[in-house]
């Protein structure tokens, strides 16, 4: 891992994102992620970002304390919807615990919510919840799927934009959407 980070850095890499699986799923993965962060810091990589579901708050804090710059936590709706999406009865509570812990750290905190027909009805409530934490950016993305049963139609897209606009104005939040 060290050699890979050195090579990437020598090629001009300045930002590194670790994603594509849950970095806190087990201690071995967390330890590897921490090693990569240490190597990246040693090699002057300016921005290190981790994407997570907040699966294990203790392990997540270990990684944060190693020196990452940004953390993105997935929140896919209210408690019921998020737990259904993650197929876990306590996924939402773990994500909220991670948000609480991260709010006390000196780290850039973002969230990511993927909007589909199944969770559009929770968007307003989700933004209301997120507004209560020290979040720099709330990212909201449309579903990218060939399954038209999940994609928003034009009426739903208008509803989506109306909710986001209203909440931006109400809270003064930075809400980015890729719709």
pLDDT digits (tens, 9 = 90+) for 28-64: 999 999 999 999 999 999 999 999 999 999 999 999 9
Question: Which is more confidently placed, 121 or 173?
Answer: 121
Q: What is the pLDDT of residues 84-134, one digit of tens each?
A: 999 999 999 999 999 999 988 999 999 999 999 999 999 999 999 999 999
Has residue 142 got a pLDDT over 90? Answer: no
β-bridge pairing 108-115 and 137-142: parallel
Has residue 3 got a pLDDT over 90? Answer: yes
List, in sequence order, every residue forming a beta bridge with 137; answer none if it has no partner.
110
pLDDT at 141: 86
| CB 22 within 8 Å of CB 53 | yes
Give the integer Cα–Cα distance in Å for 168 and 179: 16
CA contacts within 13 A on the Cβ side of 51: 11
Give the integer Cα–Cα distance in Å for 80 and 84: 6
Length of the chain: 179
pLDDT at 177: 78
| Integer angstrom CA distances of residue 134 from 48, 90, 106, 108, 144 | 19, 22, 10, 9, 28
Mean pLDDT, rounded, for 56-76: 96
Mean pLDDT, rounded, for 2-28: 93
List, in sequence order, every residue forming a beta bridge with 71; answer none if it has no partner.
50, 109
């Amino acid at each position: 891992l060290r050699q890979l980070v050195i090579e990437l850095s020598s090629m001009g890499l300045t930002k590194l994102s670790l994603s594509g699986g849950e970095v806190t799923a087990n201690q071995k993965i967390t330890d590897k992620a921490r090693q990569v962060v240490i190597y990246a810091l040693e090699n002057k990589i300016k921005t290190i970002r981790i994407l997570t579901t907040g699966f294990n708050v203790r392990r997540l804090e270990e990684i944060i304390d190693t020196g990452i710059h940004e953390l993105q936590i997935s929140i896919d709706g209210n408690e019921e919807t998020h737990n259904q999406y993650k197929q876990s009865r306590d996924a939402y509570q773990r994500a909220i615990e991670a948000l609480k812990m991260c709010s006390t750290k000196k780290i850039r905190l973002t969230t990511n919510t993927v909007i589909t027909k199944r969770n559009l009805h929770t968007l307003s409530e989700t933004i209301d919840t997120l507004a209560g934490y020290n979040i720099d950016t709330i990212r909201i993305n449309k579903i990218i799927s060939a399954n038209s049963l999940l994609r928003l139609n034009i009426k739903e897209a208008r509803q989506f934009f109306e909710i986001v606009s209203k909440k931006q104005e109400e809270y003064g939040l930075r809400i980015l959407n890729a719709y």
